[in-house]
Amino acid sequence: MKNLTNCTPGEFIKQSVRIKKIASKWLKDIDLVNIRSRQPEYITIPITATAEERKEILLKNAQLQKEQAIKNLSEIFDMAFEKYPDETLSVLALLCFVEPENVNDHSIVEYLDSVMDVFETPAILRFFGLLASMQSRTPTSRA
C-alpha cells in the first residue's frame, strides 16, 4: 500500500498538503495537544529526604507518569474513534493515498501496516514534527 514512506517526492509534497488540511482540524477536534499535556500530581521530594526516600519518591512519580500516559492515550482513543471516527478514517486514508470516500476498499490490517511504516520512519516524523511546531508558534513567539 502506498504511503508517505514509499511515494515519489512530488507525491509526498502534494499528499502532505492534503493531509495537513484535514489533520489540523482533526487534531484540534480530538484535543490532542491538551490531552497530551496533562500531567499527574507528582509527589514533591522534601529537602530533608534521604537518598532512599528520594529514590522511592522518584519511582512513585514514574508510576504516576505511566498511569497518566495510559489515561491520556485512552482519552485520545475515545475522542478519535468514538467522537470523530469519520475524520479519523479520513486521515488514515490520506496517509495511505486512498481517497476518504474509498476508505472501506482496504482492510484495517493494510492501513495499520502502512501507517506504522510512516510512524516508524524518523525522517518523516521529524518533518511533520517541525511543521507542527512551526504551526503552533504564535507570531510573537517567532524569533
DSSP string, 78-140: IIIIIISHHHHHHHHHHHTT--GGGGGGS-HHHHHHHHHHHHT-HHHHHHHHHHHHHHHS-GG
In a domain, residue 132? The reply is: no
pLDDT confidence of residue 111: 95
User: Does position 133 have pLDDT exceeding 80, yes or no?
Assistant: no
In a domain, residue 14? The reply is: no
In a domain, residue 65? The reply is: yes
In a domain, residue 140? The reply is: no
The cell numbers describing 34, all together, are 491538551
Q: Which has the higher per-residue pLDDT, 133 or 42?
A: 42
Report the domain count for the chain. 1
Domain housing 51: 32-95
